[in-house]
Structures are given as C-alpha cells and as structure tokens.
Amino acid sequence: MSGGARYLVTGGAGFIGSHLCDRLIGAGHRVICLDNGLTGREQNIRHLLSRPDFDWLKQDVTAPFDVPVDAIYHLACPASPLQYQRDPVATTRTAVLGTLNALELARTRQVPVLIASTSEIYGDPAVNPQPEAYWGHVNPIGPRACYDEGKRCAETLTFDYHRQYGVAVKVVRIFNTYGPRIHLDDGRVVSNFIRQALTGAPITLFGAGAQTRSFCYVDDLVEGLIRMMATPPACTGPVNLGNPEEVSIRALAEHIRHCTGSRAPLVNDPLPQDDPQRRKPDITLAQRLLNWAPTVPLAEGLPVTIADLREQLCPNHSDSVC
C-alpha cells in the first residue's frame, strides 16, 4: 500500500497495537487508534496524541464503528489469562462482536482487514510444532474457552465474510510476544517472572516448569503484521507468527533470574486447568509467503523488556527494588 494511507488499529493503545501504531506513523501513514482503555493504556500512545497524523477513538470495539480508512488491523481483545478470565463473557463478546464490527467496516468500506488471531486456537496441542493445518485440541467449556473459542469463532466469521462478501481478509495467529510496554500486571509468564524477580518475590512455576512456550520480540511480531498486510489479496492465511525456539518455563525463569541478578527462589504451584504443555509455531508458511522470521533472540530482547518493566515498577527509581 502506498504511503499516506489511513489505517485503523483496533486495540491500538495496547502492548502490540501501540508498537504497530509507531511503525505505521513512522512510515508516513495516518493512524486511527480505536481502544476503550480497558487493557490498553494511554501511556503507550501518549507520545502520539499531539500528532496530526494520529487520532484516538476511545470506544469499545463491540459497539459498531464507521471511520474512513484504507485498511484495518484488528487487534482488540484481552489476551492474557488474567485479563480474559476476569470477565469471560465480555471476552467472548469482544472476540466475536469486535471482529464482526471490524469485518463489517471492511465490507462497507471495501478495504482489507487483518485479524489478529492467536496460538491459543491450538489449545493443548497434540502436534508439535503447530502448523496452520492443525485444527487444535481445545476444551470448549473450560475456563480458557472464552478466549480460545472466541478467537476460533472470530476466524470462522473472517473466512465466511471472505467467502460470502468477498472481503479481503488476512489472518495471523500470534504466539507469545514480549517486549517494552507489556504491562507489569499483564499476568503472562514473562511479565510475571520479571516482576517477581525485581521485587524479590518467589518466582512461581506451574507444575515442574517443564511446559514450553516460544517468545517473539514485539518488533519482530510487528514486522510480520506489516508484511502480512502487504501480501496480495489471495494471501488470506492463517499464518503463524512467533518464534520457533521452544523454551521451557523453568529455563525462562532461570534466564530472567540471571538477567536481573535476582536470588528469588523458584516455587511450584499446581498447573491451571487446560494449561498447554507445549507451544511452538511452525513458521514455514511465514518464511515462504512473507520472507519473515524472528531476528531478536531472547538474550537480546529480555534485557530491554526488564529495563522497561523496572521503569514501570519504580518510575522515580526511589524504591529499593530498583
């Protein structure tokens, strides 16, 4: 898409969304950020608020919206178990109605829409690594289902809008992402471990910590989103975006202890229900279609993330833990 385009970014005040807004504006585009501030934060976009090429439309994505745009990035939805289990009904409404509204805007304006789906649609996978052709292993009535099944329904709506109305759609399945602006109390494993390490609290492992995840630095993820949007209309996805390096939760905890110089003990809590035991993306399709693969290793991305969370924890650096 040529320079000077108008982009709508739903969830644009969130962790990933705010980085995407930065990239788009840096490339000379205009951005409309739609975010109700529930999990997104004004401080993530404060540096953009005075710019003439940025607007914040502060509303809930579940309410219909109509703005003149050239393309849509739909990222709005609580994304961590702590966030989405706080109000599971609202999470399902956001995943389904929010996507429906984004698709309806794309249909009426005849513009492309990129839908941010998730690796959680694979559930607790019986296949490792997870390719896009894998249909998943999800508990439809469990405590994680509001998000898992909400996103699965969002994908269903997306491809039905494509088939029925000819909407230009692109679906990406995002695996664990970390980096600056991730919320201190986000509830996901990277922010949890860093906060615990910085404060000297015990670092909590669920089970023995043998379960695995893959961790993609936010700049790499945003690059993947932009490349996906730039693909020809026939490239609908879904496409996995994530780091194919599989890391055990215990190894992550040890790495964060080392990076922070923490002596916090590791403690074991019971595994939550339906917690996936393995998570690793097959990114063959992203490599082929987008010429994309992560470039920032955990050893490089973690120190930057730790510094940002340290600033969130002690903005004036007056607390002893800083």
Q: How does pLDDT run across 37-67, given as a tens digit for each residue?
A: 888 999 999 999 999 999 999 999 999 999 9
Q: How does pLDDT run across 5-28, given as a tens digit for each residue?
A: 999 999 999 999 999 999 999 999
CA–CA distance, 129 with 112 (Å, rounded to integer): 29
Catalytic residue among 84, 122, 147, 161: 147
Nearest to 294 by CA among 188, 219, 227: 219
Q: Is residue 74 part of a domain?
A: yes
Q: Is residue 124 part of a domain?
A: yes
Q: Specify the pLDDT at position 137.
A: 93
Q: To the nearest whole percent, how much of the chain has pLDDT over 70?
A: 97
Which residues on neighbouring strands pair with residue 173, listed in sequence order?
A: 117, 240
Q: Is residue 130 part of a domain?
A: yes
Which residues on neighbouring strands pair with residue 172, listed in sequence order?
A: 116, 239
Q: How does pLDDT run across 96-141, given as a tens digit for each residue?
A: 999 999 999 999 999 999 999 999 999 999 999 999 999 999 999 9
Query: Cα dist. 32→21, 116, 152, 154 in Å?
Result: 9, 17, 26, 22
Q: Specify the pLDDT at position 1.
A: 44
Q: Specify the pLDDT at position 184.
A: 86
Identify the CATH number of the domain in which residue 135 sits.
3.40.50.720
Q: Is residue 47 part of a domain?
A: yes
Q: Specify the pLDDT at position 7.
A: 98
Q: Specify the pLDDT at position 2.
A: 44
Sequence-separated (6 or more) residues with CB below 8 Å from residue 19: 179, 181, 218, 219, 222
Note if 147 is an active site residue.
yes
Q: Is residue 319 part of a domain?
A: no
Sequence-separated (6 or more) residues with CB below 8 Å from residue 2: none
Q: Specify the pLDDT at position 321.
A: 54
Tell me the average pLDDT across 260-280: 86
Q: Is residue 70 part of a domain?
A: yes
Q: Please give the angle made by the CA atoms of 121, 125 and 126, to the nearest 5 degrees.
A: 145
Q: How does pLDDT run across 166-195, given as a tens digit for each residue?
A: 999 999 999 999 999 999 888 889 999 999
The rounded mean pLDDT for the chain is 93
- Count structural domains, the chain: 1
Q: How does pLDDT run across 288-305, given as a tens digit for each residue?
A: 999 999 999 999 999 999
Paired tokens of 189: 């494993």
- Rounded to two decimals, what is the model's pTM? 0.94
Nearest to 207 by CA among 248, 161, 154: 248
Nearest to 268 by CA among 202, 213, 212, 188: 202
Burial of 93 (0-12, 13-18, 19+ CB in 10 A): middle
Q: Is residue 1 part of a domain?
A: no
Lowest pLDDT segment from 80-84, 174-178, 222-226, 258-262: 80-84
Q: Is residue 280 part of a domain?
A: yes
Structural domain span for residue 165: 6-177+217-243+275-295
CA–CA distance, 259 with 303 (Å, rounded to integer): 7
